[in-house]
Amino acid sequence: MNDFQVFGIDGSNGVWIGGPCNGITLMFLFAIFVIAYPGNIKNKFWYVPLGILIVHTINIARIIALALIAKYDYTYLDFNHTYTFTFLAYSAVFGLWMIWVNKLSGTTLSEK
């Protein structure tokens, strides 16, 4: 069974999307951060799904950007996949968690 999906633009090789690249790990990581950190349970019930939606949207944008890179200049694909978009995705998860900690949880890291 093939664990990859191909997404691309006509005239390009496309990009292969494997299990680690589908964003589920990032969504899980975000949800665990928020669930494990103290805070209002009612806020967790709306913030976790919203954050997962945001992470999913970022991952879709990442895949589209990688497909465009594959179409127009394939030589930049590996660098952007490995570094640029990994940094952006994890930064987004960190940013969402910081919003939770500092604005929505009712606590701050300095109090812990």
Give pLDDT tens digits for 27-66: 999 999 999 999 999 999 999 999 999 999 999 999 889 8
> How many other β-carbons are positioned within 10 Å of the β-carbon of residue 57?
12
Q: Is 18 inside a domain boundary?
A: yes
Q: Are 59 and 34 in contact (CB under 8 A)?
A: no
Q: How many domains does the chain have?
A: 1
Percentages of the chain per state (helix, strand, coil), in multiples of 5: 75, 5, 20
Q: Is 10 inside a domain boundary?
A: yes
Task: Indicate the Cα dihedral angle 108, 46, 50, 96, nearest 10°.
Answer: 0
In this prediction the pTM is 0.82
User: What is the band of 23 on the pLDDT scale with cuts at 50, 70, 90?
Assistant: confident
Q: Which two tokens stand for residue 71?
A: 């179409």
Q: Is 55 inside a domain boundary?
A: yes
Q: Would you state the pLDDT for residue 3?
A: 63
Count CA within 13 A, CB hemisphere, residue 5: 8
Q: Would you state the pLDDT for residue 48?
A: 97
Q: Is 112 inside a domain boundary?
A: no
Q: Which two tokens stand for residue 1?
A: 């069974």
Q: Would you state the pLDDT for residue 88?
A: 95
Q: Is 95 inside a domain boundary?
A: yes
Domain range for 98: 5-107
Average pLDDT over residues 89-98: 95
The Cα 98–Cα 92 span in angstroms is 10
